[in-house]
């Protein structure tokens, strides 16, 4: 792969960066100041045959247009909303992602967030650390997780993994997706409002597309209601964030646990003071174990491409 010029868009993983530097010629996009990035890309364009991007910086139309020799976009993510797939198809550029390897981590976190939210674990931890337990007595009652009805938006790999884990807690599972899945006993809703009205914990686990942008809007939040809680481990723009903040502020929604936000790394500051939210910084797949597997998958796809072998996880 020594001859392969790779545009690395973001400092996403030290191991991946090290391996890429060892095996290819790497162009580090983030090292140029934002206003000079287009120029950086243009001046190195002849050498760049691959882009390695992630959930923050992928391959938009302008970048793809500026790279006439681009052959492959190997994304260090499962979601490809930062890659212009249409343009890639047009140009015959291959696209790969890192499916499956992060499924377990994201599903684990979804359950962890739901329990932390209902049982107020982060709040209990703050209460103990601030010495209040000793001074003010027991923390207040929280809400049971076992047996609550879980509504899942998007029953793909991650949605299924969330469902399987929640079943271990005796939770009935319902879901919304474009079409009913043939191989499950989970209750299907063809209408998201109906799902939200009939579950206690609504978990967003679908890909971000034109259709699913702001899929969780005011109507859905109101249907979920003051006894319901939202868990988002998908993408920030799945949820209409100002509406979510308003619903929490006005007590129309019971709570929210969020791993993703509309304008990362910015989180609406109004949430910082709320006790019925859990806020984590897009760490769904952020474990050492999974990041290494994702990096190996990116490297494997690039290697397969260079050697004219079938790609490991092609999307386009």
Residue 263 CB coordination number (10 Å): 10
281 binds other proteins (CB under 8 A): yes
Tokens 């809400």 found at: 143
Which of 23, 28, 214, 282 is catalytic? The answer is 282
List the end-to-end C-alpha distance of the chain, in Å, as a whole number: 21
Segment interacting with other proteins, rule: CB under 8 A, options 45-53, 65-73, 134-142, 152-160: 134-142
Q: In sequence order, what DSSP letters do the residues of 58-76 get, joined into one string?
A: -B-HHHHHT-TT--EEEES
Question: Does residue number 185 form part of the binding site for other proteins (CB under 8 A)?
Answer: no
Closest to 184 in 3D by CA, of 150, 140, 229 = 150
| Choices 22-30, 39-47, 140-148, 242-250; region in contact with other proteins by CB under 8 A | 140-148
Residue 30 lies near other proteins (rule: CB under 8 A)? no
Residues 52-111 close enough to bind other proteins by CB under 8 A: 104-105, 107-109, 111
The C-alpha atoms of residue 107 and residue 298 are separated, in whole angstroms, by: 22
Catalytic residue among 49, 94, 165, 235: 235
The rounded distance, in Å, linking the Cα atoms of 29 and 73 is 14
Does residue 235 have an active-site annotation? yes
- H/E stretch holding 189: strand 187-189
Tokens of 101: 């390897």
In terms of CB distance, is 104 or 194 closer to other proteins? 104
- What is the size of the binding site for other proteins (CB under 8 A)? 58
Of 142-150, 151-159, 234-242, 294-302, which part binds other proteins (CB under 8 A)?
142-150
Q: Does 275 bind other proteins (CB under 8 A)?
A: no
**Any contact of residue 229 with other proteins (CB under 8 A)?**
no
For the annotated catalytic residues, the residue numbers are: 235, 264, 282
């Amino acid at each position: 792969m020594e001859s392969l010029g790779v545009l690395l868009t973001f400092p996403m993983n030290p191991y991946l960066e090290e391996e890429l530097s060892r095996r290819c010629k790497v162009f580090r996009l983030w090292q140029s100041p934002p206003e000079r990035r287009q120029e950086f890309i243009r001046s190195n364009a002849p050498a760049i045959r691959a882009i390695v991007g992630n959930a923050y910086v992928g391959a938009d139309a302008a970048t793809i247009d500026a790279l006439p020799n681009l052959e492959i976009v190997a994304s260090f993510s499962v979601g490809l909303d930062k890659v212009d797939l249409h343009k890639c198809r047009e140009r015959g550029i291959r696209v790969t992602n890192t499916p499956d390897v992060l499924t377990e981590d994201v599903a684990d976190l979804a359950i962890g967030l739901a329990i932390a939210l209902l049982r107020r674990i982060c709040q209990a931890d703050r209460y103990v650390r601030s010495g209040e337990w000793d001074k003010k007595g027991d923390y207040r009652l929280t809400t049971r997780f076992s047996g609550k009805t879980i509504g899942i938006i998007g029953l793909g790999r991650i949605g299924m993994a969330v469902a399987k884990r929640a079943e271990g807690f005796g939770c009935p599972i319902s879901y919304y997706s474009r079409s009913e899945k043939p191989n499950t006993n989970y209750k299907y809703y063809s209408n998201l409002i109906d799902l939200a009205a009939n579950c206690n914990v609504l978990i967003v686990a679908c890909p971000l597309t034109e259709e699913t942008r702001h899929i969780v809007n005011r109507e859905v939040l109101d249907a979920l209601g003051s006894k319901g809680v939202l868990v988002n481990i998908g993408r920030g723009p799945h949820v209409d964030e100002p509406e979510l903040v308003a619903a929490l502020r006005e007590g129309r929604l019971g709570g929210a646990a969020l791993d993703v936000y509309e304008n990362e790394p910015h989180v609406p500051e109004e949430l910082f003071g709320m006790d019925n939210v859990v806020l984590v910084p897009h760490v769904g797949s952020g474990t050492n174990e999974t990041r290494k597997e994702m990096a190996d998958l990116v490297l494997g796809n690039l290697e397969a491409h260079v050697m004219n072998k079938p790609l490991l996880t092609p999307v386009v």
